[in-house]
Amino acid sequence: MLKSILAHLPAGFPWKDRIVYFDTIDSTNTRAKALAQEGAPHGTILIAGQQTAGRGRLGRTFQSPGNMGVYLSVILRPECPPEQLMHLTCAAAVAMCDAVEEAAGFRPGLKWTNDLVVGKKKLGGILTELSVAPHTGLVLYAIIGIGINCSQTPADFPPELQDMATSLSAAGASIDRAAVAAAMIRALHRMDIALLTKKDMLMDAYRTDCITLGQDVVVLRGEETHYGKALSVDDDGGLVVALRDGETKTVTSGEVSVRGMYGYV
Ligand code: BTN
């Protein structure tokens, strides 16, 4: 697999010698954190054929069955305070739309904040984790973990996910997982170059891809449920929602989950 991925990257690609492949791992994000703490350089990429403890947002698990998806984490070391990286997950999400479009021939949408969707079903997700150096207040490392379902049939998903989850092949693409992984790596590298200097461009692209905008949504925060309409995404990736009681609220991805009024999207 690693050989095929490398074959899809241009000669001289700067992160080429920093890609590590695991047949099976607990979680590429968990391992990336350990490597980052040991000093792994900017651009280190971990890819797994299978994860036994794949992690999703808000403490959820991410189903990562063997050789059916791309499970990938990248370690970045942008030298800035964390406040300058509020848009990181949005930028990564746009990069993943670019990667899928390049590898599979169609562009997925983004369900705020970081789910890739096609045909109203989830194709993949992103989990971003940040560590800040206490002495400088600057980012020590950021880990962006991405899982994209590639070859699952509907029956491969657990029954409770079958109405909500899809894969590239179920969406009609004939896929090569190595080509998908390489497209993801190239897109992450382009994103990294633009990250701190082209924030406006990245967020405009995010708003274009975000299918949540204009939708009636349910905002779930713990036991609380709020109904409203998604109006916009602010420059930090917060979702601005007009609630039914007339209040306008900006919600951030770490605290709430947003559903469509009539289902997952
Ligand atoms: C979500 O949908 O809530 C986020 C899912 C993120 C899954 C990816 S797979 C690679 C990386 N390793 C993990 O344990 N999680 C991320």
pLDDT reported for residue 254:
66
Atom of ligand 1 nearest to the CA of 27: 14
The tokens describing 4, both together, are: 């095929």
The tokens describing 75, both together, are: 């370690």
Tell me the CA–centroid distance for residue 10 and ligand 1, in Å. 26
Residue with tokens 């190595």, as numbered in its chain: 178
What residues in the chain have per-residue pLDDT under 70? Answer: 254-256, 262
pLDDT reported for residue 262:
67
Q: Please tell me the distance from the alpha carbon of residue 216 to that of residue 226, in angstroms, as a whole number.
A: 11
Conformation bin of residue 172: beta by default, left when phi > 0, alpha when psi is -120 to 50: left
Residues 6+ positions from 151 with CB-CB distance below 8 Å: 67, 68, 69, 167, 168, 169, 175, 177
pLDDT reported for residue 255:
63
Tell me the CA–centroid distance for residue 244 and ligand 1, in Å. 33
Pocket of ligand 1 from Cβ distances under 6 Å: 27-29, 51, 54-57, 60, 62, 64, 71-73, 115, 125-127, 145-147
pLDDT reported for residue 260:
75
Helix, strand, or coil here: 134? Answer: coil
The tokens describing 151, both together, are: 């070859």
pLDDT reported for residue 221:
82
